[in-house]
Amino acid sequence: MKIDWSGRSHNFSSRDINYLVNVIKKADPLTQGKYLKKFEFDLSKYLNVKNVFALSSAAAALEIISILLNIKKNEEIIIPAHTYCASAIPFARNGAKIIWADINIETRVVDVEDVLKKITSKTKAIVVVHLYGFAFDIAKLKGRIKNKKIKIIEDCAQAFGAEVNNKKVGTQGDFSCFSFHAQKNITTLGEGGAIHVKNPFLAKKVSGLRLNGHSQYSTKRKNYWLPAMVNLEEDMANKWPYKFTLSEIQCAAGIVMLKKLDKLNNYRIKRAKRFINFFKNHKEIIFNKNFNNKRHVYHLLSAYCVPSKNFNRDSLIKLLYKKFKIKCVIQFYPLYRYPLFKKKGFGKANCPNTEKFYNNMISFPFHIWMSNKQFKYLTNSVSKSIKILKN
């Protein structure tokens, strides 16, 4: 491959590596220590919210959120069908009935009007996914359901640092999750995530739920762990805790990368703008154009391929791979098509835009460490491929 689909979004600098090596040498303990506290403090400061906790993944955060919701039998969770499966699995596992919402074909994130149609008296929560790096406007949804006791869950796994009206994703909902996986805009050495819980009472339960029910003594002996289950209250007495912790070296990596997040996101936006503007006269591929005010931080660079007699998504992917040695991918398989969701009774959906977009979308390689020479080659190769297929 001249440009492969990388599982690594960015690299660490020599300065970063030296810092992390020093942490490896000196950190004691190697987990649940001062770097965890520092990372959580920095995350809270960056988001300008309280009650942010570092975890092993965004999926872990969603698992804890599903517990904190205290889902009862037949209660419904509305989730976009066009997203990664981790956005839905925890809620299904904890007994919710999944209702699939459609996306807006232009923004590629959940459609407000479709969500409103699917709200019932049994709706417990709505999962909003800020997909591909694009920030959904939470305020618009909140304004339409303000008289209903429905929780809003922000899945920010792909859009850390994105903003709507100067408010960062993950700060407007009742719960939020963030991902620091290797492919995300920043990473904690391959795996990692965070959770934000708006309700301070529920937030107190997170530390126990992420560490086998352990909690600290509320005394000056701050580093002594109480070897007992945290009190999850009677309404959660049947919920078992997990082990969703990050190591000190991972938290240290998060500390150094968080300092770079805005710079890295601005670089992504700059590159995306160059790429998208290059194809502004090509009617064959349509992008989500949102360069201003960090509405889109371009975790991924996806496009909708307009099918015609001689051109379609599959032919473009095939040509880029065979002739130009560039690997592209298709995202995201509609969740109601998965055998697992079908078997569990969640195989029915009315999501025409989800079908239309999935059947015609392409995602171009967009790792930030791609050289300028490679990026230019990618741009020119896509242009050449479109011209070849049109003729």
The per-residue pLDDT for 213 is: 80
Q: Which amino acid is at 234?
A: E
How much of the chain, in percent, has pLDDT values that exceed 70? 94
Q: How many CB atoms lie within 10 A of CB 193?
A: 26
Buried b (16+ CB within 10 A) or exposed e, 93-131: ebebbbbbbbbbeebbbbbbebbeebbeeebbbbbbbbb
The per-residue pLDDT for 391 is: 83
- State which residues of the chain have pLDDT below 70: 215-237
**Distance between CA 142 and CA 10 in Å, rounded?**
35
Q: How far, in Å, are 11, 87, 129, 348 from residue 172 at the CA level?
A: 31, 18, 13, 30
Q: Which amino acid is at 29?
A: P
The per-residue pLDDT for 216 is: 56
Phi, psi of 4 (to 5 degrees): -85, 165
The per-residue pLDDT for 277 is: 96
Q: What share of the chain is helix, strand, coil (3-state, %, to 5)?
A: 40, 15, 45
Kindly give, in sequence order, each residue whose CB lies less than 8 Å from that of residue 285, ignoring residues fewer than 6 positions away.
279, 303, 304, 305, 306, 362, 382, 386
The per-residue pLDDT for 291 is: 84
Helix (H, G, I), strand (E, B) or coil at 179: strand
The per-residue pLDDT for 227 is: 47
The per-residue pLDDT for 239 is: 78
DSSP string, 317-356: HHHHHHTT-B--B-----GGGSHHHHHTT------HHHHH
The per-residue pLDDT for 212 is: 86
The per-residue pLDDT for 218 is: 53
Helix (H, G, I), strand (E, B) or coil at 283: coil
Phi, psi of 286 (to 5 degrees): -120, 130
The per-residue pLDDT for 133 is: 98
The per-residue pLDDT for 234 is: 45
Structure tokens at 213: 């029910």
